[in-house]
């Protein structure tokens, strides 16, 4: 049996939604800072271009989140996301441990896909909650972003399969 709620607006779905927004807002801003480093480190022009393309998209994603906060009448504020901190930390390890190695790009592509999958999980949930809350405008914005994350994940898979994994294998 659920405990008696202390009120519809406190710690209900809307609060959960707002907390989720803060989590992904923190994550997106951190990803925005990391993508240029990954673009710079990657050995192939294609992998580098994919990171740069997604950096530009990520700027737009941050703006979409700010629009949603504004629609809710809330200040755009992030809340530390330990998951993205950990995922990016693993990416930084790859960067350091595979510097100059043939497997670097394969490792970076894999690290970036872990980021995309976290984002896909979070946006998927936020979309479901926005739907439930009847937040139509937010719903559209979140769907646009989810579509970009999914397309990025696909593009990274293709890059790994067509190029980076092959180069990594050659030196195995
Ligand atoms: Fe993103
Ligand atoms: Fe999180
Ligand atoms: Fe992304």
Quote the ligand 2 centre to 168 CA distance (angstroms): 31
Write the pLDDT tens digit of every residue in 47-83.
999 999 999 999 999 999 999 999 999 999 999 999 9
pTM of the model: 0.92
Write the pLDDT tens digit of every residue in 88-110.
999 999 999 999 999 999 999 99
Quote the ligand 3 centre to 131 CA distance (angstroms): 22
Cα gap 28→61, rounded to integer Å: 7
**Fold exhibited by the domain 13-170:** Ferritin (1.20.1260)
Write the pLDDT tens digit of every residue in 108-125.
999 999 999 999 999 999
Predicted pLDDT of residue 170: 78
- Buried b / exposed e over 23-46, threshold 16 CB at 10 Å, is bbbbbbbbbbebbeebbebbbbee
Phi-psi region of 3 (alpha: psi -120 to 50; beta: other; left: phi over 0): beta
Cα gap 11→27, rounded to integer Å: 22
Quote the ligand 3 centre to 10 CA distance (angstroms): 31
Select from 151, 32, 39 the least CA-distant residue to 104: 39
Quote the ligand 2 centre to 70 CA distance (angstroms): 21
What residue segments make up the domains of the chain, in order of their start? 13-170
- Other C-beta atoms lying within 10 Å of the C-beta of residue 51: 22
**Strand ranges (DSSP E) for the chain?**
none
């Amino acid at each position: 049996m659920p405990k008696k709620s202390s009120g519809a607006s406190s710690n209900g779905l809307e609060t959960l939604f707002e907390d989720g927004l803060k989590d992904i807002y923190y994550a997106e801003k951190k990803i925005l800072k990391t993508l240029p480093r990954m673009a710079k480190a990657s050995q192939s022009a294609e992998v580098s271009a994919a990171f740069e393309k997604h950096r530009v998209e990520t700027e737009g994603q941050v703006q979409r989140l700010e629009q949603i906060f504004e629609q809710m009448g809330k200040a755009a504020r992030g809340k530390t996301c330990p998951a993205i901190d950990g995922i990016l930390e693993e990416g930084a390890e790859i960067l350091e441990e595979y510097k100059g190695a043939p497997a670097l790009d394969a490792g970076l592509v894999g690290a970036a896909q872990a980021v995309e999958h976290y984002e896909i999980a979070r946006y998927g949930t936020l979309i479901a909650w926005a739907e439930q809350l009847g937040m139509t405008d937010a719903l559209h914005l979140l769907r646009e972003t989810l579509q970009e994350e999914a397309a990025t994940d696909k593009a990274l898979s293709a890059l790994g399969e067509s190029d980076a994994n092959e180069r990594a294998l050659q030196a195995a």
